[in-house]
């Protein structure tokens, strides 16, 4: 008799993927096929290389995936979700639903769907299929998007029918716990014409272990719809994080996206907004606190495909210690997209001499009657501000914190939801407390 000593890790390998699929044989065939295709794509795509402009300045060694495994169980320790008024919430721990509040009957009666991926695949397969990866992001991270699709098990489908307006935000929390565990959240938000809704997602680690997260969003706003999406990422400081955000706006749609980036050893965020219908508008906002040796890599694309479209990107990074940020953004205005107003601004506040902020703004304009601008600034904390605060008895660390909050306020104040403003401020503040 021979004994085979099993490796404690079942990595992201073919065997593991086969098991993943086999466990999901009850799901629709199109979903299984999409996963299989994504798995093939993941394997055929090379890892990012030094020659790849999409990954300029990024730490490529940090992207190694070998050691991570797909979690089979969930932790019972789920960090508490900030308490604020909401329409409904779903809480995932590793890939399983561990908590949720029911959708108010009034919303269910109007046809609103707020469901985990598995539920949505069971009950609304066709609707979900129509919008799943309809406009994939192609900003260099396709391999990680493929990995997400291959292993996606946790995630949410929010669907708001035509003309339905939901005031309170929908809330999702993804929690990841355990050493070398990984998570692949996939979020699909569909607002039909004239619908209004907001979704807030929290991405948090239940411990400080080394983890892998690759998340994907498909956000879709129909004609004259109003969508607010907030993603607050606070993984452990030893997490490799990847997030791809696809935004699609039809005629006169209004989309506001805010991403808060706090956690991760190395966190990449790709965001592509498509202003597909005339009169559509998108705000792309981001706030990052980068400290110690963290690297935050943000790649954006604003595509104006129709006339009278507007987009406004404002990414603000506060850098502490030896942290590093990369911002690379592009505005593309198609020939037909006359009277486009497009702005792209990246501001970096350096709180340390050793921090590194890289900025690569860009424009590609094919129409002749447009207003576009891009700008990037990096600056130290003005010494007179520092001294002024200290002269009132505020210690240097707290003074920096106040200055960072002041710096961020321009973005946070754009949120209509006061409670959410407070929740995000508290979350950002927690980063200054943990050290």
Partner 1 sequence: MKSLEIRDLTVALTESPDQPIVKGLSLTIKTGEVHAIMGPNGTGKSTLSKAIAGHPDYKVTSGDVLIDGVSVLEMEPDERARAGIFLAFQYPAEIPGVSIANFLRAAEQARLADGENVDAAAYYKRLYSKMDSLKIDRKFTSRSVNEGFSGGEKKRCEILQMAMLEPTFALMDETDSGLDIDALKIVAEGVNNLRGDNLGVMMITHYQRLLDYIVPDFVHVMYDGRIVKSGDKSLAIELEAKGYDWIKEEFATASA
The window from 53-61, 90-98, 139-147, 387-395 that contacts partner 1 (CB under 8 A) reads 387-395
**C-beta of 213 vs 411, nearer to partner 1:** 411
Contact 176, 206 (CB under 8 A): yes
Phi, psi of 315, rounded to the nearest 5 degrees: -110, 120
If binding is defined by CB under 8 A, does position 332 make contact with partner 1?
A: no
If binding is defined by CB under 8 A, does position 421 make contact with partner 1?
A: no
If binding is defined by CB under 8 A, does position 409 make contact with partner 1?
A: yes
Quote the tokens at residue 414.
């754009």
The window from 116-124, 161-169, 220-228, 384-392 that contacts partner 1 (CB under 8 A) reads 384-392
DSSP assignments along 40-74, one per residue: HHHHHSPPP-TT-GGGTT--SGGG--TT-B--SS-
If binding is defined by CB under 8 A, does position 406 make contact with partner 1?
A: yes
Distance in Å, CB of 312 to partner 1, minimum:
18
Pick one of 407, 415, 420, 428: the residue that binds partner 1 (CB under 8 A): 407
The window from 43-51, 284-292, 363-371, 401-409 that contacts partner 1 (CB under 8 A) reads 401-409
Distance CA 272, CA 136 (A): 9
131, 145, 102: which is closest to 191 by C-alpha?
131
Residues 6+ apart with CB under 8 A from 406: none
If binding is defined by CB under 8 A, does position 377 make contact with partner 1?
A: no
**C-beta of 174 vs 400, nearer to partner 1:** 400
**C-beta of 46 vs 383, nearer to partner 1:** 383
If binding is defined by CB under 8 A, does position 371 make contact with partner 1?
A: no
Contact 88, 199 (CB under 8 A): no
If binding is defined by CB under 8 A, does position 403 make contact with partner 1?
A: yes
If binding is defined by CB under 8 A, does position 126 make contact with partner 1?
A: no
Residues 6+ apart with CB under 8 A from 11: 66, 67, 68, 69
If binding is defined by CB under 8 A, does position 134 make contact with partner 1?
A: no
94, 237, 99: which is closest to 177 by C-alpha?
94
Coil/strand/helix, residue 220: strand
Contact 202, 79 (CB under 8 A): no
- Number of C-alpha atoms within 13 angstroms, CB side, residue 253? 32
If binding is defined by CB under 8 A, does position 396 make contact with partner 1?
A: yes
DSSP assignments along 247-258, one per residue: EEE-TT-EEEEE
x-marked contacts with partner 1 along 167-186 as a string, rule CB under 8 A: --------------------
260, 284, 266: which is closest to 141 by C-alpha?
266
If binding is defined by CB under 8 A, does position 375 make contact with partner 1?
A: no
Contact 272, 298 (CB under 8 A): no
If binding is defined by CB under 8 A, does position 335 make contact with partner 1?
A: no
Distance in Å, CB of 282 to partner 1, minimum:
24
Quote the tokens at residue 183.
């998570």
If binding is defined by CB under 8 A, does position 387 make contact with partner 1?
A: yes
Pick one of 391, 418, 433, 435: the residue that binds partner 1 (CB under 8 A): 391
**C-beta of 19 vs 385, nearer to partner 1:** 385
**C-beta of 150 vs 389, nearer to partner 1:** 389
**C-beta of 123 vs 409, nearer to partner 1:** 409
If binding is defined by CB under 8 A, does position 73 make contact with partner 1?
A: no
Max distance between CA atoms of the chain, in angstroms, equals: 78
Pick one of 258, 355, 389, 427: the residue that binds partner 1 (CB under 8 A): 389
Pick one of 395, 426, 429, 434: the residue that binds partner 1 (CB under 8 A): 395
Binding site for partner 1 (CB under 8 A): 382-385, 387-396, 398-399, 402-403, 405-410
């Amino acid at each position: 008799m021979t004994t085979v000593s099993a490796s404690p890790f079942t990595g992201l390998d073919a065997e593991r993927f086969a098991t993943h699929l086999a466990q999901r044989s009850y799901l629709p065939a199109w979903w299984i096929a999409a996963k299989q295709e994504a798995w093939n794509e993941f394997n055929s795509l090379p890892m990012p290389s030094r020659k790849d402009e999409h990954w300029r300045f990024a730490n490529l060694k940090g992207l190694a995936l070998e050691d991570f495994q797909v979690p089979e169980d969930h932790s019972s320790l789920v960090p508490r979700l900030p308490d604020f008024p909401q329409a409904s919430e779903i809480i995932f721990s590793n890939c399983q639903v561990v908590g949720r509040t029911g959708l108010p009957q009034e919303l269910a009666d109007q046809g609103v769907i707020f469901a985990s991926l598995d539920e949505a695949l069971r009950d609304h397969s066709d609707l979900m299929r129509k919008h799943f990866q309809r406009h994939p992001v192609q900003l260099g991270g396709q391999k990680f998007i493929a990995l997400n699709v291959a292993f996606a098990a946790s995630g949410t489908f929010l669907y708001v029918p035509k003309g339905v307006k939901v005031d309170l935000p929908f809330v999702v929390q993804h929690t990841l716990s355990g050493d070398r565990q990984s998570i692949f959240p996939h979020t699909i938000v569909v607002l039909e014409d004239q619908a209004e809704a907001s979704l807030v997602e929290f991405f948090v680690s239940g411990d400080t272990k080394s983890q892998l997260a690759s998340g994907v969003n498909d956000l879709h706003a129909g004609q004259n719809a109003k969508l607010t999406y907030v993603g607050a990422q606070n993984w452990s400081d030893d997490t490799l994080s990847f997030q791809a955000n696809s935004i699609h706006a039809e005629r006169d749609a209004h989309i506001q996206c805010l991403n808060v980036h706090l956690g991760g050893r190395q966190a990449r965020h790709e965001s592509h907004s498509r202003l597909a219908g005339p009169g559509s508008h998108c705000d792309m906002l981001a706030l990052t606190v980068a400290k110690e040796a963290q690297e935050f890599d943000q790649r954006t694309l604003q595509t104006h495909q129709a006339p009278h479209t507007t987009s406004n990107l404002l990414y603000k990074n506060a850098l502490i210690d030896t942290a590093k940020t990369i911002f690379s953004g592009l505005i593309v205005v198609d020939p037909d997209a006359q009277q486009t107003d497009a702005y792209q601004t990246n501001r970096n506040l350096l709180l340390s001499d050793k921090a590194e902020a890289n900025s690569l703004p860009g424009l590609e304009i094919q129409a002749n009657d447009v207003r576009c601008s891009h700008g990037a600034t990096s600056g130290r904390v003005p010494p007179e501000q520092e001294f002024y605060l200290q002269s009132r008895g505020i210690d240097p660390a707290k003074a920096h914190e106040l200055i960072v909050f002041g710096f961020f306020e321009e973005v946070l104040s754009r949120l209509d939801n006061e409670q959410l403003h407070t929740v995000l401020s508290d979350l950002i503040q927690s980063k200054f407390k943990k050290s």
